[in-house]
């Protein structure tokens, strides 16, 4: 049975690195290639993922369709 703590999470915002195209959680330095990301990215270079399982979700979802984590 899943406890309340196991069922909570948050929507993580990932940005696309303009140098290597990896999606990373920090818009200052790419964790994959190490380049510093100075420019702001547009909406098409951002994706939202579940903090618990990493599945892509919509920014306004209340629950992950994959693992059931609550984003409230």
pLDDT in tens, 4-57: 456 799 999 999 998 999 999 877 889 999 999 876 666 778 999 999 999 999
Residue 63 has pLDDT above 60, yes or no: yes
CB 14 within 8 A of CB 47: yes
| CA-to-CA dists, residue 15 to 5, 31, 34, 43, 59, angstroms | 27, 11, 14, 9, 13
Residue 5: the pLDDT is 55
Q: Cα separation of 56 and 11, whole Å?
A: 9
Helices and strands of the chain, counted as H and E runs = 0, 4
The pLDDT value recorded for residue 39 is: 67
Q: Quick one: tokens of 8?
A: 């909570």
Residue 3 has pLDDT above 50, yes or no: no
- Indicate the domain borders of the chain: 11-57
Note the pLDDT of residue 7: 77
pTM (whole model) above 0.85: no
């Amino acid at each position: 049975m899943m406890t309340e703590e196991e069922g909570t999470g948050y929507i993580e915002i990932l940005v696309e690195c303009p140098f290597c195209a990896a999606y990373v959680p920090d818009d200052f330095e790419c964790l994959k290639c190490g380049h510093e990301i100075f420019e702001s990215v547009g909406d098409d270079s951002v994706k939202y993922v579940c903090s618990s399982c990493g599945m892509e979700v919509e920014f306004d979802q209340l629950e992950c369709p994959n693992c059931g984590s609550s984003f409230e």
